[in-house]
Amino acid sequence: MRPIVQSKKLQHVRYDVRGPILVEAQRLEAEGHKILKLNIGNTAPFGFEAPEAIVADMIHNLPDAQGYSDSRGIYSARTAVAQYYQARGLTDTVVDDVYIGNGVSELISMVLQAFVDDGNEILIPAPDYPLWTGAVSLSGGTPVHYRCDEENGWNPDLDDIESKITPNTHALVVINPNNPTGAVYSEDIVKGLVDIARRHNLVLMADEIYEKILYADEAVTPIHHHVATYAADDVLCLTFSGLSKAYRVCGYRAGWVMVSGPKHMAEDFLEGLTLLANMRMCANVPAQHAIQTALGGYQSINELIVPGGRFFEQIKLANRLLNEIPGVSCVEPQGALYCFPRLDPEAYAIEDDQQFVIDLLRAKKILVTHGTGFNWFEPDHFRLVTLPDTEVLTEAIGRIAEYLETIRR
C-alpha cells in the first residue's frame, strides 16, 4: 500500500497555537506533570462562566433547535446582529447582510474560500492571529504580512502596507483589538486603513472579536472604532465578531460576519458565500439562540474590564511583572486577553523561538506561544494569555523570570 500523505494544500499552513509545542505539553502531562497552559484564550478553564441568561435561553430553545436552520442563521440571531450594528451607526444594515457561523474561525475560512483565487494576495498584519494566514494559504491565496509598529503601540504601519500593495492585492485584513498584541487602533489609524482600501480598490476584512474587551483607567481610555463605519458606501467591508470572548462561551461556537458597503458590486461573491453556507447546512442551532439574548441584554463583560474586574487586574498585573524582568519589555495592552512581550536580543540570544518555548515548557511547566507562530518577523517575542487569576499569574511569570535568568547573557 502506498503511503497516505497530507494534501499539498497544507504545505504552507501552520497553526502553532495548537502545534508541536502543545504535543510536547501533552507528552509531559502523560508523564504526570501539571502544565499551566497559557497558550490559548479559552475562558472556561480559568473559572469564567457564561452569563446565566444566555445559558437559560439556549436551554429554553433546545426543543426547537433539533433541526437544521436557514443556512445563514436563524432569523432572531441575524436580526439581533443587524440591530447591533445599526445602533453603532451602520443604519443600512439589514438581516440579509448577516451570516451566522460556528465561530469566527469557520466564517473566516468560508469567506476566503468564496473570495480568493489561486495567487491572490491578501494583506495580513504581523503579528497576526495565525488562522488568517493559514486560511489564505489553504484557499490558494498568498498571505502578505504588513508590519505593526511596536514603538507606536503596535499600530499598523500604513507606509509599510502601501509598499506591499501590488496589482494582485485583493483584500486588507484588520485585527482590532489585536490578537496577540492587545493594541486598540486609534481613529486616525482606522481611517488610514480604510483610505488605503478605498484608493487601491481592496476589500476590508475586519476581525473585531475582542471589540468589547477594552481596558480604560485614569491614564488611557481606549475606544473601539468599527472599520465598517468609515468604509461607507464605496468600500466593501466584512466585519467578523461573535460571543466567544466577551460572553465567555468559546465552546458554543457562535459567531457572525456582517457585510456592508457596495453590496450590489459583490452579488457574485455573496452568491458564492451563500453556496458555502448551504454546503455546511447551518451553524450550531442551539448556540444561535444565545445571540439575541447576549446582544440585547445586560452586558456582564463590563464588570470584568474595569479596575477591580478580573480581566482588568490580571492583564495589568501581567504587563507590570513582565516589564520588571531584566531584558523584557511589553507594550501595555489596551484590549483583548494577551501580552506580547519582547526579549531583548542583547540579553537573550534566541535564534529559534519555538525551541525557546519548548525549553521553557520542559524547565518550568509553563506553556506559552512563540512570536513567530503569529507570523512575527523575528524570534524575539512570545504571547502569554492573561486569563489565570492574579495569584496563578504571579507564580507563572515568576517561573518565566527564573528561567530567563538562566539563559540571560
Mean pLDDT by 10 residues, the chain (409 residues): 83 72 88 90 89 91 91 95 94 95 95 95 96 94 96 96 97 97 96 97 97 89 94 94 93 95 94 95 93 89 94 97 97 96 95 94 94 94 95 95 92
- Residue 18's pLDDT is what? 66
The CATH fold assigned to 8-48+304-407 is Aspartate Aminotransferase, domain 1 (3.90.1150)
Q: Are 144 and 164 in contact (CB under 8 A)?
A: yes
At residue 16, the pLDDT reads 66
Class of the CATH domain delimited by 52-299: alpha beta
* Cross-strand pairs, 36: 366
Per the rule left: phi > 0, alpha: psi between -120 and 50, beta: everything else, 157 is: beta
- Distance, in Å, from the CA atom of 218 to the CA atom of 221, rounded to the nearest integer, reads 8
Q: Where are the domains of the chain?
A: 8-48+304-407, 52-299
> 76, exposed or middle or buried, with CB in 10 Å at 0-12, 13-18, 19+?
middle
C-alpha distances in Å from residue 346, one per residue of 87, 358, 371, 397: 50, 21, 17, 21
Q: What is the pLDDT of residue 158?
A: 97
